[in-house]
Amino acid sequence: MSGKSGKILIVDDNQDILFALRLLLKPIVELVKTESDPSNIPDLMSKNRFDVILLDMNFTKDAISGKEGFHWLEKILEIDPASVVLFITAYGDVEKSVRAIRAGATDFILKPWQNEKLLATISSAIKLRQSREEVSELKSKQRAINTIMNQPFSDFIGVSPSMLKVFETIKKVARTDANVLILGENGTGKELVARALHRNSLRNDETFISLDLGAISESLFESELFGHEKGAFTDAKSSRPGRFELASGGTVFLDEIGNLSLPLQAKLLTVLERREVTRVGSSKPRAIDIRLISATNKPLKKMTLEDTFRQDLLYRINTVEIELPPMRERDEDIPVLAAHFLNLYSKKYKKRFNKLSSPVIRKLTSYPWPGNVREFQHVFERTVIMSDGNTLHESDFHLTSQPATSEGFEFDSYNLEDVEKTIIEKVLRSNRGNVSKAAADLGLTRTSLYRRLEKYGL
């Protein structure tokens, strides 16, 4: 043993034994506690966590049979089942050794002992105790993880009627293979719904692959989704399976499906109807088995009337629709979400805050949250990072983002693309060309905003 480590309790009615063991162990053990009366064991264990307990098997009341030692062994293990107990006795034999181990003792030491052997035994016992604690901690963490993972909607927090309706729909459709279309504004948690559907489905042991269609150019669409063969195009230096092949047996989540052009919609529809993909550069179709979940913040039904989204594709992807409410319609969820994110980021940044006051909750509830839950979460993280003290005040929450509205906007037409272009130009100007801030105000990812800038030549 090198260095001082471990806390040891020695219980023996022989003061000479206690003195000798204390003298031997004190230079190399962190704490050595000795006790001649075993009835004091429960009190000693309540005040200290001992790594190893050396317990006399035979006390004066019963000098030979070892019954008293076995009695106190049982009491020790009742108090702490992970205790490492070493029996010490001058009357050891094979039968008692076997009985001691079966009763829960870790080892058996005979008096008189050899110092080197005793130290080696205690060193091993301390390491065993540490290992048991590590295993116990790992099991505890795993149970906590399992508890979280086994909750049907561990990613969601909500008590509002609209969110309870979402939970109920997920319960009903998760274990089916029905294609699901998730509707909602940016930042409402559409991907969380998709992951909850997958996690609670019969495919939960298989792959979940998420793909943001708003971030994929038309030239890469087929290669990304369906794969390509070596040499199919300039940069195709090796064959590669697409997302649909990789997810076969599992779930594919297509976010921002409303951004697909009509030609790409046709190609996607063909794959969904035939349940097979053909890699770019190949003529050989490959069967796929996927559950499709799609999401968009666009009005697909209106787009079908305007011939900008195929009606047959809409029928294919929306066997079930789940519509996520925006934050401004979830007032009942604000206090619950606030408590959740406050706790989350307090732990992350090792801070401690008091419960949020009513004025703070009123301020959070009165704000429209154009970026929805995503913005709400970011605000809490920023506030926790920047705040000192134990109390968060109204002034600590800087709610500067404003929803993009048509107020003050002049449109030459009501064509959706023209409207979108005008709004993007306006928001970019108000943010002095800062794309990150503009994307946040618009409720978009930077990648999605860059695609729109390229699309509109901005």
CATH tag, 416-456: 1.10.10.60
Quick one: which of 445, 161, 190 has its CA closest to 297? Answer: 190
Give the C-alpha separation, 51 to 122, whole Å: 10
């009513």: which residue's tokens? Answer: 358
CA atoms within 13 A on the CB side of 240: 15
Which residues partner with 52 through β-bridges? 8
**Contact assessment for residue 425 and residue 458, using Cβ atoms and an 8 Å cutoff:** yes
Torsion angle (degrees, nearest 10) of CA 193, 219, 415, 405: 50
The whole-number pLDDT of residue 93 equals: 57
Q: What confidence score (pLDDT) does residue 1 get? A: 43
CA 426 to chain centre: 38
Domain 330-392 falls in which CATH fold?
A: Helicase, Ruva Protein; domain 3 (1.10.8)
CATH topology match: 7-143 vs 161-323: yes
**Whether 436 contacts 404, CB under 8 Å:** no
Residues of the chain with pLDDT under 50: 1-2, 148-152, 402-408
Q: What local confidence, expressed as pLDDT, does residue 300 receive?
A: 94
Closest C-alpha to 360, from 378, 330, 375, 380: 380
**159/140 Cα distance (integer angstroms):** 29
Q: Pick left, alpha or beta for residue 436 (phi over 0 → left; psi -120 to 50 → alpha; otherwise beta).
A: alpha
Q: Which two tokens stand for residue 1?
A: 């043993």
| The 3-state secondary structure of 205-260, one letter per residue | CCCEEEEEHHHCCHHHHHHHHHEECCCCCCCCCCCEECHHHHCCCCEEEEECHHHC
pLDDT on residue 405 = 44
Asked if 308 contacts 262 with a C-beta cutoff of 8 angstroms, the reply is yes
What pLDDT score does 403 carry? Answer: 43
Domain boundaries, the chain: 7-143, 161-323, 330-392, 416-456
Supply the pLDDT for residue 262: 94
Q: CATH assignment of 161-323? A: 3.40.50.300
Which tokens in the block code for residue 201?
């489905």
Residue 319 phi, psi (nearest 5): -55, -40
The CATH number of domain 7-143 is 3.30.365.10: no
78, 100 in Cβ contact below 8 A? Answer: no
pTM above 0.75, yes or no: no
